[in-house]
A and B are shown apart, each in its own frame.
Chain A
Amino acid sequence: MCMQCGYIYRQELGDPDGGIPPGTPWEDIPEDWKCPECGAGKYDFDVVEM
């Protein structure tokens, strides 16, 4: 989850507009990928138990 805005990355959906195909595991997302909601970096994401 992005700690700057609360966006949740879901592997099954990916982020096609950001160049991340559906099914991409979190660890395979490039370090320069940006949160599609707020533009925060990958380092701003934490794993959160829902």
Chain B
Amino acid sequence: MTLDAKDLRLEDLDDLSFDAFSFEKLFSGDVDDPYPKIHKWMEQGSIIKGKYRDEFSKVPDPFYVDEEQYLVLGYDAVTKVLMRPEIFRNYEAQIKTLGQFFGEKVLTVLDAPDHTKFRKIFQKAFLPNVVGKWGDTIVQPVLDGLMEKFLDRGEADLIEDFTHHFPFQIIYRQINIGMDQAPVFHKIAVAQLLSAVGRPEGLEATEKLGKFFSALVEERRRNPGPDLVSHLANIELDGELLPTDVLIDFLRQLMNAGGDTTYRATSCLLTGLLTNPDQYAAIEKDRSLIPQAIDEALRWEPPASVVYRTAVEDTEIDGVKIPKGALMNVVLASANRDPAKFENPDKFDIFRSRKVRHYGFAVGPHVCVGQHLARVEMTRAINAVLDKMKNLRLDPDKPGPNITGHILRSPEHLYVKFDRA
């Protein structure tokens, strides 16, 4: 039987009452501020033994238990590890985690030469000149639709009403699935990560998304449209289609990482601005400051605080011997708050010099493939807030925003009051 796109449905989790979002918080951890500890580590050296996650979370890592582990700290050491992909590889470091959540052919698990080959194809669909065109057609309608639901109230929780949804809905539009399926997609996208805390719903989510995308890719190859999946499903590499498993694993990761990171980054941007009203007033007055405000948010609270690599040979960094097989916990957050590179690094300051490149999107061959789309989305989001919400301020009758978590950080709530423009 031939499936039509409109007939494709993503199957929900078997246990409909399972709350994936509550369990996600276990993964994020409940640490308010990991930075005092990160600064203390940096004083001890650039490479010290330790497991980042175990320092902040009571939930044990079920995957990487026996490996010797090191924390990589500070801007220069992080650069040295991430810019030497021939020694510090992704496959060994990610196969048991991201390889399980999204599939073993996902870009983040691959190394050169496969990574180089496939990355170029995916990146082509997300280059600045391509994603810039999505601002009007895809991003803006999603922002407008969400904001229309709360603008008349004069108060909102900018996380639950806005940032927690728009990046995910943008992805749903890109792949052209019915918006009626949005809640299930959001839940399943998040649930994929729950294998990391030992929940069986993690694998169930991964399998169900895989089944859905297999059918969607097959359908889009038969009946291509103008959407992203049609584009990727029919693109040719040396005369052959992109391997289906590579594409499905990419889409599984896109559903999660593409939404989750932008949601958190935008939430932290708004938190930084609204807790520093003088800086919010500055961009209200001069919107050319928006790009530097976005960069500052990405430096101050990178969407992922840590990434992992495995040393595939004996090596040495800054005089510390690293044995083959060591799992390197590369603390991006430490690079972005390295006092040797950024003056007064814990301060959110949109006016700071941008001479030093931050690692909010990491660095090296695995630098975020979606970074240009994330910038378009964040720029549109902050412009929409400036356009439609006047006299925007924190709600004095509700708790202020508190950015929490140790790997994926963001505030749970951002209560505001405003006048509709």
> Residues of A with Cβ closer than 8 Å to B?
1, 3-6, 8, 16-17, 36-40, 44, 48-50
Query: Which of A3, A8, A38 is B367 in contact with, Cβ under 8 Å?
Result: A38
Let me know if A1 and B127 touch, CB within 8 A: yes
User: Which residues of B have CB within 8 Å of A50?
Assistant: 128-129, 132
B371 at the interface (CB under 8 A from A): yes
From B12-20, B115-123, B325-333, the one touching the partner chain is B115-123
Interface size class of B (residues with CB under 8 A): 20 to 34
**A/B pair count, beta carbons within 8 Å:** 46
> Residues of B with Cβ closer than 8 Å to A?
83, 85, 116, 119-120, 123-124, 126-129, 132, 355, 357, 363-367, 369, 371-372
Let me know if B364 and A1 touch, CB within 8 A: no
Main secondary structure on A side of the interface with B: loop
User: Which residues of B have CB within 8 Å of A8?
Assistant: 128
Let me know if A4 and B120 touch, CB within 8 A: yes
- Nearest B residue to A50 via CB reads B129
Query: Which of B129, B357, B372 is A48 in contact with, Cβ under 8 Å?
Result: B129
User: Which residues of A have CB within 8 Å of B355?
Assistant: 16
User: Which residues of A have CB within 8 Å of B367?
Assistant: 5, 37-38
**Interchain CA distance A38-B85 in the complex, whole Å:** 10
Let me know if A4 and B123 touch, CB within 8 A: yes
For residue A4, give the distance in angstroms from its CB to the closest CB of chain B.
6
Let me know if B363 and A38 touch, CB within 8 A: yes
Let me know if A6 and B128 touch, CB within 8 A: yes
Let me know if B372 and A6 touch, CB within 8 A: yes
**Interchain CA distance A39-B132 in the complex, whole Å:** 24
Q: List 14 A-B contacts (CB under 8 A).
A: A1-B127, A4-B120, A4-B365, A6-B123, A6-B372, A8-B128, A17-B357, A37-B363, A38-B365, A39-B85, A40-B365, A44-B120, A48-B127, A50-B128
- Nearest A residue to B361 via CB reads A37
Given that A6-B128, A48-B129 are known contacts, is A39 also in contact with B123, CB under 8 Å in the complex? no
For residue B47, give the distance in angstroms from its CB to the closest CB of chain A.
21
**Interchain CA distance A40-B122 in the complex, whole Å:** 15
